[in-house]
Structure 1
Amino acid sequence: MPSVCLIFGATGQDGRLLARRFARDGFRVIGVSRRPAAEMAVGLGDYAADFERLIGDFAITAPATDALVRAVAPAVIVNVAGLSSVGASFRHPMETLLDNGQLNLFILETLRVARLPARYIFASSGELFGETPPGGADTASLYAPKSPYAVSKASASMILRNYREVFAVNAALAYLFPHESPLRSPDFVLPKIARSLLDLKAGRISELRFGPLDVVRDWGWAEEYMDAIFRQAQLPQPVDLILASGTGTSLRAMVQHGMRKLGLEGHGPLQVDPTLVRPADLARSVGNPAATEQAIGWRATCSGTAVLERLIDLAAAG
């Protein structure tokens, strides 16, 4: 019988792409969400076919998590659930800390108590490293979180490392740097840029307004990053990995590239919207994926401005 992959956070960008990747390799995929199951199926669209079963209305409690994991007995568990917006975490810090920490702990405790052999992958974040050096952050870099979101990921990651080292739980961290696709929420910066540039070209808006333009981020393509998690789950021993392109691009350079692509170079100066300035932000966040390439033979092939180009082309095509 094919192995089971249990995905928490099935309705988001990463959950859908993970389901497709695991299903393609013959896994039976079970998706879990707090949304009602009927609503899940509609929201998933074509991706619903990649799930053998959808579990909706899931209450994130220790007993519910324990019962589900024991009943399913998965070979792989991937946790991409929780709040993923750095900006929103400043408005909802307590909710972010709880959402991004509790489920991780409940899964780890179930694996510890039940002594289940399942490989567990937690979607951590490159944000927890804080400001990164010129060569980028690697798995030996110290945690230096600035935002409530980054703190939530740092605390959850430290708990996982403790359970692995002390209780021999089969768990690993995927330190995900920004990764985009058309499935990403339009509230995220690159989809917002793509949409705004197309609106500007079509005359639907007259100016562009963004947050701080000189921040540097390491952007990649989400489908490639979910393939990396699939490969990470197949390793004989749990290994933490940096999922990043290793290339930093400023937001200003990203927007200017998109404007050139659409013939908007002569448009007025970019406007910084004070409402989009965060209480604390990172000037530079870039990952070093060298060890990842050695471990799983993976390298990002789409990064930086190429990610925005894809988003613009796909959005323009409808």
Structure 2
Amino acid sequence: MKRALITGITGQDGMYLGELLDSKGYEVYGLVRGQNNPKVATVREVLPNAKLLFGDLTDLGSLLRVIETADPEEVYNLGAISFVAHSWENAGMTTDVTGKGVLNMLEATRIHAGSDPSSIRFYQASSSEMFGKVQEVPQRESTLLWPRSPYGVAKVFGHYMTINYRESYGMHASSGILFNHESPRRGIEFVTRKVTTAVARIALGKQDGLKMGNLDASRDWGYAGDYVDAMWRMLQQPEADDYVIATGKTHTIRDLLDVAFHRIGIDDWSSRVTYDKQYERPAEVDLLIGDASKAKEVLGWEPSVDFRELIEMMVDSDLAEQETLD
């Protein structure tokens, strides 16, 4: 039975990855920050077989204790402060967790691996936000990185540190440059879930409308369940490498609103959505679209859920959830 350690197991990706690994017969360990973490109950419900260990990505000592207990063959570093808008308000904390936390996890893994650094396979959750002010369309593994947020900058640090540990120590360390990926488990603070939740509440008469920022920003949106499969595939390769994971199709926030409102029978949502400057980013990322040709060729990976199916899945889930709430 293989053992895997997942940091960020309380997040959307962590839970989907935990389910995938459990289905493949892994013994799953999850790193949780803080014993009073409110998401622990959800993780225990979704992943009853997972063993939860408490530690902090900013504390190397705690990571060494966790990795010694788990003794994993695979480490998936998904833990981060991942809400981009929050990173401008908390740039220091974002840097410590999302950037330097990667260094701490790499170092803990290297130390635990001892004389054979490649004996533990390491996955780093890189992000399309690293491309920021895009220098090439579509974006691929070789595209120049130009981050436009403290979150993006922190992700670039972690990405290059992963490459550095691979090249310096011979670690089997891979990065997945994942473009936006969503699901019913997405946090309510993210724009897709903000929209699908509001639409569900509007359908049920619990809300009149919603406030939005830039409706013309374009993203390459996929399904989180598909994307964690790509993570696993990377660590099964004989050689570590970096891969863009994306659908290769881009949609605007307007497209998102079109699909979500259509699902509840509203085709003209213009009177329901109002502009609010507070939701604009200080520096916007206008167009992200990924080229996942390498992942298709090497990993045999392709997305299985398209944009419309994804948003409809999320609206349906939020309708079911909102119907149970007062």
Specify the TM-score bucket, using the shorter chain as the normaliser: over 0.9
**Residue in structure 1 matching 2:300, options 294, 297, 302:** 297
In structure 1, the partner of 2:281 is 278
The answer (yes or no) to whether the contact 2:53–2:66 under 8 Å persists in 1 is no
Measured at CA, do residues 100 and 208 of structure 1 come closer, stay the same or move farther in structure 2, by a change above 3 Å?
same
Which ranges in structure 1 are unaligned for 5 or more consecutive residues?
A: none
Contact 1:244–1:286 under 8 Å retained in 2: yes
Aligned partner of 1:216 among 215, 218, 223? 218
Paired letter, 1:49: P
| Residue 103, structure 1, aligned to residue 101, structure 2 | yes
Cα distance change, pair 134–258 in 1 and its aligned pair in 2 (3 A): farther
- Shift of the 273–45 alpha-carbon distance from structure 1 to 2, 3 Å rule, reads farther
CA distance in 2, matches of 1:217, 1:74: 35
- Other structure's SS at 1:184 match: coil
Following TM superposition, by how much is the alpha carbon of 1:4 offset from its aligned partner in structure 2, in angstroms?
0.6
Counterparts of residues 133-144 of structure 1 (less than 5 Å): 135-144=137-146
CA positional deviation for 1:239:
1.7
TM alignment of 1:1-318, pairs within 5 A = 2-36=1-35, 41-51=40-50, 53-58=51-56, 60-113=58-111, 114-115=114-115, 116=117, 117-132=119-134, 135-269=137-271, 270-318=273-321
**1:112-160 C-alpha deviation (Å, 9 max, x unpaired):** 4424410000111011012346742111111110000000000111111
Contact 1:111-1:169 within 8 A present in 2 as well:
no
Instruction: Tell me if structure 2 keeps the 8 A contact 1:201–1:264.
Output: no
Within 1, Cα distance between the matches of 2:143 and 2:237?
22
Rounded to whole Å, the distance in 2 between the matches of 1:230 and 1:27 is: 12
Structure 2 gap ranges (5+)? 322-326
2:232 aligned partner, one-letter code: F
1:67: Cα distance to partner? 3.3
Partner of 2:324: none
Query: Aligned in 2, Cα 1:58/1:156: closer, same or farther, shift over 3 Å?
Result: closer
C-alpha distance in 1 between matches for 2:134 and 2:57: 36
Partners of 1:37 and 1:56 within 8 A in 2: no
> Take 1:232 and 1:95, find their aligned partners in 2: how far apart are those partners?
29
Q: C-alpha distance in 1, partners of 2:136/2:100?
A: 34
Residue 56 of structure 1, CA deviation = 2.4
Point out the more displaced range, 198-207 or 215-224. 198-207
TM-score, structure 1 normalization: 0.93
Provide the secondary structure at the position in 2 that maps to 1:99: helix
Percent of aligned positions that are identical: 27
Q: Distance in 1 between matches of 2:208 and 2:74?
A: 49
Supply the distance in 1 between the matched residues of 2:269 and 2:141 (Cα, whole angstroms): 42
Q: What per-residue deviation string (whole Å, max 9, x for no partner) do you get for residues 81-103 of structure 1?
A: 01010111111111101111222
Is the 2:57–2:105 Cα contact (8 Å) retained in structure 1? no
Q: Distance in 1 between matches of 2:259 and 2:143?
A: 31
Shift of residue 72, structure 1, vs aligned partner = 2.8
Q: Counterpart amino acid of 1:272?
A: Y
Q: Which segment is superposed worse, 118-127 or 130-139?
A: 130-139
Q: Matched residue of 2:47: which SS?
A: helix
